[in-house]
Structure 1
C-alpha cells in the first residue's frame, strides 16, 4: 500500500521507524516487536533499526522491515551513521520515529535535527528505565512526545527532567497478552517430559524461578541465598535461574555458579540459559521471584506469571510495585529485606488456598491501542504544521 493511502481501518497509512540497540531478549525488545506487529496488522509500514539478534526473525516474519545497523555501541565511530540515517529518514519519508534507548537516541536525534523542519518526522521517545540522571540520559526526554512505560517512570521523569511539560508526557503501561498467558495454563505432558529429561534434578521438586536477563542488578545472588535458606527446612525446594547473559558480563554468571558451589547447591539450583518457553516454566513453578536491587520500569515477568495464576514474591519498588499493588499485594516485600523475603516465600508456599484475582489490569491490547493512537496524533500534528 503506497504511503499516504487509507488503511482498511479508515486511517492514513503511516511509516513508523523504531530504533533500539539490538533484538536479543528483554522487555524493551519484546515491546518493540509487539508494537511492530500491531502497526502491520493496522495496515501501516513498520521499520525497525537494530544490530539484530535472536528476535529479529519474529519481527520480519510478521511483516515488519528490519535494517541491521548498530547504533547502540558507545563509540565515536557510531557517529558515522548520522548522515546515513538522515538520508534514510528522507528517502523513506518516515512519519514517526520512536527511540527506545540512549545511544541510538542521540544518533537519531542528531539526524532528525539536521533535517529541514518541514521534513522532520514526529519524534517519540519511549522511556523504559530509570536511567542515571545526567546529560547523556536526557536524550530519552527530548522527544516531541515522551512515553513513560509506568507511573513510576513518569514520576522519575517529572522529578529529574522538569523541562518535559505534562502535555508531552504520556503514561502508556506495558502490557501482556492474556491469550498468551491464560489463567490456569498447564503445559503438555510432552513438554514436561522433555523439560525434566533436560533438567532431571528439577523433577518432582517445589520449583522457585527467577526469569530474565542475567545481570547483577536482577538479584540472582539473593535468589541463590534464598534457595539455600529455604532448603534448611524443606529439602524439596529447587531453584530455576532462567535467562541468558551478555557475553561481556559472563564473569557475573561465574560468580553465581561460585555462590551455588560455595553453598553446596549444585544439585538444587539450575541455570537453564535462554528459554522461549517461559510460560510453561511459570506454570510449573510454585513461586516466581523478582529481586532487582534497582527499580524495574514495568516488570513484565511479574505480570505474565500472575496472569496464569502463579504467585509472585518481589521486592516492591518501581513498576513491579504497581503490578503487585493492583494484582497481588500479598507478594510485596520491602526491598533488600532478606528476612522478610524468606518469611514471605514460606508463607506463600504454605498457603494451599491462595487465590490470585483473575483480572489483568495490564493488557497488551490497551498498550498497543494507545501507542498507535499516539503515533497517529503525532503524525497528524506533524503534517498539519508543514
Structure 2
C-alpha cells in the first residue's frame, strides 16, 4: 500500500508529530510512505526513516496557493498513492481541486484528520469532505456532528492521539546531572513544591489564572513555587511583559519562574509535583496532560475538551469545573497537603493510534 500525507510544513507541533509517527509506522509495516509539505526542520528525520518527502508550497492561506493545484495533481498521478491523507485546510482544498482533474477510476482514496476546533465556515468544512474523517478525540467527533451535518456520522472515525509509554515511563526520574544543572540555572526551584504550567506563552494557556492562584496560596504554603515551561513568540513579547508586570505588582517575583522553551519537557513534567491544564479554550486532545500522567505526575485541569477525556479516564480527581477558582484552589491545596498517586497509564498509546490508522487505510484502500 502507498500512502501520501499532506500538511503545510514540517517544523513542530502535534500535526507534524502525528505525520511522522504514521509515516514511521507505515514503513515498519512494509508500506510505502510519501509526505508532501513546504518542508521544515523535521524533513531529514522523516527521510532518514524511509519516507519520500516532496516539497510543494501548500502552506499559505492565500489565493496564490491555487497555483499549486496542477503541480499537486502531477505528483498524485506520478506517484499513484492508494490513499491520500490530508491534515490541514489549505492542503485539503488543493487536494480537492487536484483530484477533480483526475478520472474517477484513477483517483486515490481520500482521508482527512480533524486536528482542531476550526472556525465554523465553508473554508473549514473541507476537512469533513473525505471518505473517512479521523477525529482525534470524542470532543472533535461532537464538534463535527454538531456543526457539519454534511458529514455522515458513520464516516467519522475516532482515533485518539497517543504517546509512547517508553518515552514517558511511569515513575521516571531525571538523571542527577540534569537536576544539578537545573538548580544551577534556577536555584530558586530547589526543595520546593513545584506546580508546572506547560505550554506556549499565549493568552489561551491560563497564565493569569496561575498568577492569581499562586497569589492566594503562597502565604499559606511558602514552599510552593510555580514554573511556566514554554517559550514566547516574538509577537507575544508584550503579553509576556504584561505577565511579568502583574507578577511584580503582586509581589510574587520569588514564587513564579518562566523557564522559556524547553526540549526536555519530560524532565520538567517528572520533576514537578503537580501539572496544571488551564487553557481558556477546549483542547482537541491534551497531549501534555497525558505525558505528565504517564510519568506519574498528577494533573489538575478544567473539565472540557480532550483534557477532560484524558483525566476522566486516568485521573478523575484532577477534573475541575471550568473557571471554578475555588475548586482549583482546593484541588491544589489537597495535592500539597496529601501527595497523590497516579496509576500507570495503559490507554492512549502511540501503537494503538498507528495500528488503528493503518487499519483504516487498508479498509479504505480495499474498497473500489
TM-score in same-fold range (> 0.5): yes
The answer to whether residue 363 in structure 2 is matched with residue 377 in structure 1 is: yes
**CA offsets per residue over residues 111-138 of structure 1, 9 Å max, x none?**
2233221222111110112222111111
**Of the candidates 166, 176, 179, which is equivalent to residue 163 of structure 2?**
176
TM-score if structure 1 supplies the norm length? 0.89
- Within 5 Å, give how 1:279-358 maps onto structure 2: 279-352=266-339, 354-358=340-344
Residues 75 and 265 of structure 1, relative CA distance in 2, 3 Å threshold: farther
1:97 Cα offset (Å)? 1.6
Gaps of 5+ in 2: none
Q: Cα offset for 1:250?
A: 4.1
1:123 is aligned to: 110
Pick which of 370-379 and 200-209 moved more: 200-209
Distance 1:210 1:64, change over 3 A: farther
How many residues are aligned here? 368
State the Cα distance separating 1:362 from its structure 2 match.
1.2
**How big is the shift at 1:325?**
0.8
Q: Which residue among 91, 94, 97 is the counterpart of 1:110?
A: 97
Specify whether residues 228 and 168 from structure 1 end up closer, same or farther in structure 2 by C-alpha distance, changes over 3 A only: same
| Contact 2:293/2:345 (<8 A) preserved | no
Choose which of 36, 39, 49 in structure 1 pairs with 2:26: 39
Mapping of residues 17-36 of structure 1, within 5 Å: 17-36=4-23
Structure 1 unpaired stretches of 5+: 1-13
Find out whether 1:220 has 2:220 as its counterpart: no
Q: TM-score, normalised by structure 2?
A: 0.93
Matching residue of 1:187: 174
Q: Does 1:364 align with 2:364?
A: no
Which range moves more in the overlay, 185-194 or 242-251?
Answer: 242-251
- The one of 110, 135, 144 equivalent to 1:157 is 144
Structure 2 CA distance, aligned partners of 1:249 and 1:115? 44
Does residue 200 of the first structure (1) align with residue 183 of the second (2)?
no
Q: Which residue does 1:7 correspond to in 2?
A: none
CA deviations over 1:183-232 (Å, ceiling 9, x no partner): 11111101111222233332332211122233322222222332333223
Pick which of 247-256 and 173-182 moved more.
247-256
Choose 213-222 or 303-312, whichever is displaced more: 213-222
2:123, 2:245 → 1: CA distance? 35
Change (3 A) 1:116 1:316: same
The Cα RMSD (Å) is 1.9
Q: Which residue of 1 aligns with 2:134?
A: 147
CA distance in 2, matches of 1:73, 1:258: 36
Residues 196 and 20 (structure 1), Cα distance of their counterparts in 2 relative to 1, 3 Å cut: farther
Q: Residue 246 of structure 1: CA displacement?
A: 4.1
- Aligned partners of 2:331, 2:283: CA distance in 1, in Å? 20
Structure 1 358/77 Cα, relative in aligned 2: closer, same or farther at 3 Å? same
Q: Is the 8 A contact 1:288 1:312 kept in 2?
A: yes
